[in-house]
């Protein structure tokens, strides 16, 4: 018999910690994760740590450039807009709307998607094919277009945007979760578990979910980056958040007329949007690569 290493704590790791170890070695993904965490924290704490209120106007400081510019003022690190409002404070508060609400939307989508997807996965026959074909039809419409249609029904507004995004993302979610569940249910260890006498619920919670939750996290990150872009796009199109709400897309739209006069008021929200989507995608991509690597093992 082969010799065992009795005290092999190093290798005695759960699939989750192995995942984390591999993820750590992917540096861009790790940087993405830190930015992601920072943005999440900012989204929750922005109203408390922002130096000024979002609608606080400074009559003496209109259209000030950022402070590193020779005309800038150190009181307003990223400058001010045409009403004398501090750009930094507005952008920090924007994280709550664009990033925070996207997280909420993606979380709700994931939750509903997992429940309905699992249901679709375990149902058979007519019910399953009906659900599938319905989802296939909605999948053929791009999520932003679907969101706009839903907004057209619900009317513009930030909360309606969130609902629209949830409904627009849901079909893909249900579909991917369903595929994962079906794939998992066909595996040998599920039938072995069934032979042990496990009920349907136990098969789902002990057999299927522990083996697909990483995939669900990947789907979540994809949904999140779509949600960020959709919220910002709808805000920019004046269908979502309305000024003076500090949603990044709305800030962009509001200041678009100032682009030659005060480019920082337009450029900075754009840069933030870019960073938010990039970090989310880096994390998602890193996770996907790790998962792919694990399948090769």
- CA angle 231–81–101, rounded 5-degree value: 20
Write the DSSP symbol of residue 258. G
Q: Which is nearer to another protein, 205 or 257 (CB)?
A: 205
Q: With DSSP H G I counted as helix, E B as strand and the rest as coil, what are the percentages for the chain, rounded to 5?
A: 70, 0, 30
Q: Which is nearer to another protein, 210 or 244 (CB)?
A: 210
Region of residue 153 (phi > 0: left; psi between -120 and 50: alpha; otherwise: beta): alpha
Minimal distance, residue 185 CB to another protein, in Å: 13
Q: Which is nearer to another protein, 22 or 85 (CB)?
A: 22
Give the chain's largest Cα–Cα span: 83
Write the DSSP symbol of residue 54. T
Per-residue exposure over 162-186, b if at least 16 CB sit within 10 Å of its own CB, e if not: bbbbbbbbbbbbbbbbbbbbeebbe
Query: Which residues contact another protein by CB under 8 A?
Result: 1-2, 4, 6, 11-15, 187-189, 191-198, 202, 206-207, 210-211, 297
Minimal distance, residue 168 CB to another protein, in Å: 32
Minimal distance, residue 165 CB to another protein, in Å: 31
Q: Which is nearer to another protein, 16 or 261 (CB)?
A: 16
Minimal distance, residue 211 CB to another protein, in Å: 5
Rounded Cα gap, residues 115 and 121, in angstroms: 10
Rounded Cα gap, residues 182 and 175, in angstroms: 11
Minimal distance, residue 128 CB to another protein, in Å: 15
Q: Which is nearer to another protein, 194 or 238 (CB)?
A: 194
Minimal distance, residue 30 CB to another protein, in Å: 24
Minimal distance, residue 195 CB to another protein, in Å: 6
Q: Which is nearer to another protein, 7 or 48 (CB)?
A: 7
Write the DSSP symbol of residue 155. -
Q: Which helix (H) or strand (E) holds 286?
A: helix 264-296
Residues 6+ apart with CB under 8 A from 88: 50, 51, 76, 77, 78
> Helix or strand or coil: residue 3?
coil
Q: Which is nearer to another protein, 15 or 28 (CB)?
A: 15
């Amino acid at each position: 018999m082969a010799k065992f290493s009795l005290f092999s704590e190093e290798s005695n790791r759960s699939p989750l910690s192995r995942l984390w170890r591999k993820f750590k070695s992917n540096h861009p993904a790790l940087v993405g994760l830190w930015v992601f965490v920072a943005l999440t924290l900012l989204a929750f704490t922005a109203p408390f740590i922002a130096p000024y209120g979002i609608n606080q106007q400074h009559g003496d400081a209109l259209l000030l450039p950022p402070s590193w510019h020779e005309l800038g003022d150190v009181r307003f690190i990223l400058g001010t807009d045409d009403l004398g409002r501090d750009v930094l404070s507005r952008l920090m508060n924007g994280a709550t709307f664009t990033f925070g609400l996207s997280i909420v939307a993606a979380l709700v989508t994931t939750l509903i998607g997992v429940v309905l997807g699992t249901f679709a996965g375990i149902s058979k026959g007519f019910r399953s094919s009906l659900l599938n074909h319905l989802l296939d039809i909605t999948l053929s419409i791009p999520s932003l277009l679907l969101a706009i249609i839903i907004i057209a029904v619900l009317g513009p507004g930030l909360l309606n945007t969130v609902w629209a995004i949830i409904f627009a993302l849901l079909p893909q979610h249900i579909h991917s979760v369903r595929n994962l569940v079906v794939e998992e249910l066909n595996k040998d260890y599920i039938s072995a578990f069934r032979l042990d006498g496990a009920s349907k619920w136990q098969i789902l919670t002990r057999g299927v979910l522990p083996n697909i939750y990483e995939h669900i996290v990947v789907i979540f990150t994809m949904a999140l980056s779509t949600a960020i872009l959709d919220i910002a796009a709808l805000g920019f199109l004046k269908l979502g958040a309305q000024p003076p709400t500090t949603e990044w897309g709305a800030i962009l739209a509001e200041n678009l007329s100032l682009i030659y006069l005060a480019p920082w008021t337009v450029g900075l929200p754009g840069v933030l949007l870019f960073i938010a989507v990039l970090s989310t995608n880096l994390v998602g991509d890193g996770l996907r690569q790790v998962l792919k690597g694990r399948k090769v093992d």
